[in-house]
Amino acid sequence: MNKTRMPKASPQPLPELSTELSPFAPLFRRHTSRDSMERYVTGLLSDLPHKTCDTIADVIAGTSIERLQHLLTDAAWDPLQLDEARVKRLLALHPVTDGILIFDDTGLPKQGSASVGVAPQYCGTLGKIGNCQVVVSAEFLADDPASSTPFHFPVSAQLFLPQSWTQDVGRRKQARVPAQISQQTKPEIALGLLDRARQWGVPIQAVVVDAGYGDNPNASREDLMTVKFATCVQWKAPSAVACLRRLRRPLPTGPSTAGVVSRASLALLLCTPSKS
């Protein structure tokens, strides 16, 4: 069967992309890793329908599957340091005084059993239990006075590991799961992401979660009492703007009557769930 290939990108970096990537160059010790990162990001910016090391190497000149795989699996660089540098640069380029941190999890359907964290579990992408990975993510949203579109970017994310992975020593070793990674619930992962965002200087006025996170006893951690918690069962992008505006109102002095998050003493239902 003939394989349709897109024209290869130039082996020379795009000037604009080189400018954007230059602040992150010190995080990659070897120039080969820096070159591979530029080629990988170039591939991510292409209109390839499926972006993998194989498909990117097939259309982007100046790289190979082996080089891209080495970048993602064996090259010496710290993804958390890169995330931190990215977040701080975004905040420096677009200063904001406060905003909201939004927690959610995403299911990534998989066919096999070798991908780290893959297991039969609820997958929001499929709308049912299926073989998938689940990633807990934190996104930042803030008002942009100069635009009708809110300022928004991903802060960080972490893969959820089911017990079938955390308790299987052989499987962990084969997939090279670090020994310090232990069993954590999704709300516990979310709290860790909140701590990470605070350490990186993200100006968080409030946290928005769905009921699966809000109705959790771990949400009543004492050091979170200065953060407003909003629990939204379902909402769309326009509702996020309204939610941000409502979160700017002073906290009520009386107890919450929402009921949805009654187990978390600090949690208040500040956003009305969508019925649609």
Q: Report the chain's mean pLDDT, rounded to a whole number.
A: 78
pLDDT at 31: 92
pLDDT at 216: 62
Which of 52-61, 67-76, 209-218 shows the lowest mean pLDDT across its residues? Answer: 209-218
Residue 30 pLDDT more than 70?
Answer: yes
pLDDT at 219: 54
Residue 234 pLDDT more than 90?
Answer: no
Residue 203 pLDDT more than 90?
Answer: yes
Domain range summary for the chain, segments of one domain joined by +: 8-77, 78-276
- pLDDT classification of 10: cutoffs 50, 70, 90: confident
Residue 143 pLDDT more than 90?
Answer: no
pLDDT at 233: 40
Mean pLDDT of 19-34: 93
Which carries the bigger pLDDT value, residue 3 or residue 117?
117
pLDDT at 259: 30
Which of 74-78, 160-164, 272-276 shows the lowest mean pLDDT across its residues? Answer: 272-276
Residue 162 pLDDT more than 80?
Answer: yes
What is the DSSP annotation of the chain? -----PPPBPSSPPHHHHHHHGGGGGG-SSHHHHHHHHHHHHHHTS--SS--HHHHHHHBTT--HHHHHHHHHTSS--HHHHHHHHHHHHHHHS--S-EEEEEEEEEEE-SSS-STT-EEEEETTTTEEEEEEEEEEEEEEE--TT-SSPEEEEEEEEEE--HHHHT-HHHHHHHT--TT-----HHHHHHHHHHHHHHTT--EEEEEE-HHHHS-GGGG-GGGTTSEEEE-SS--HHHHHHHHHHHTSPPPSSPP---TTTTSTTB---SPPP--
pLDDT at 49: 87
Which carries the bigger pLDDT value, residue 11 or residue 1?
11
pLDDT at 214: 60
